[in-house]
Amino acid sequence: ADSSVASTGWELCFVSPKCHDGLALSPVGVPDCPPGPEALPSCDEALPGELCEGGCGTRSDINNCYDAHYSYPPSRDVYRKAEGNTLTTTMVTSTSTSTFLDTTTDLAATGSPWSVQGPCEAVGACVQSPNYPENYGDRQSCNLSLPKPSVVTILDFLTEPDMDFLTLHGVPFSGLGPGKKTFTLWTNISWRSDPSVAERGWKICLDP
């Protein structure tokens, strides 16, 4: 502003899109972007805490992540769905509210500290892909969590390379993954398989 006439000024607001489940979406920063070739689910279908792209009124001009060819400038519009456990479904004639199934939310009742949303399996202090050590299924997705921070170890990992991803700390792993590795878990873990080749999957255990 200069030293003469003043007016009412301006106001700038960020409007966070939301999906039918009521969970807000936020554009991710560059460090959280997926590898260029990785296909992401629509934000309508994404689980809480998962990366997604398109749908739910998201913008197509964010340009915050690179495409499969890592073309410059970035051209993808990647969001992360907020954490939450309430799903609101609107029907033509009525509206109903239900909750995601948490299969391992209580250690005393279940014998496992893991909270699992989806078909992944919690066994004691460990969590594993569906049907492990046999092949997992097509089009499966899970969201996994522990009290944070927790120290965990990846004991086994084999998925279809560049197609079926386990995402840890915003980094998607496939194929042989990161190998046997121990690390501190600060975020939820997400799993998603595509409709084609399946492998034996993975197993992660909480360190004592």
The per-residue pLDDT string of the chain (208 residues; one tens digit each, 9 = 90 and over) reads 777 788 777 765 555 677 777 888 888 887 788 887 788 888 888 888 889 898 888 888 778 888 877 777 778 889 888 887 544 333 333 333 333 333 333 444 457 899 999 999 999 999 999 999 999 999 999 999 998 788 999 999 999 999 999 998 888 999 999 888 888 888 899 999 999 899 999 999 998 7
Tell me the pTM: 0.50
Interatomic CA distance for residues 166 and 171, integer angstroms: 8
Name 163's Cβ contacts closer than 8 Å, sequence gap at least 6.
Answer: 174, 193, 194, 196, 197
* Helix, strand or coil, per DSSP, at residue 32: helix
Residue 36 and residue 67 in contact, taking contact as beta carbons nearer than 8 Å: yes
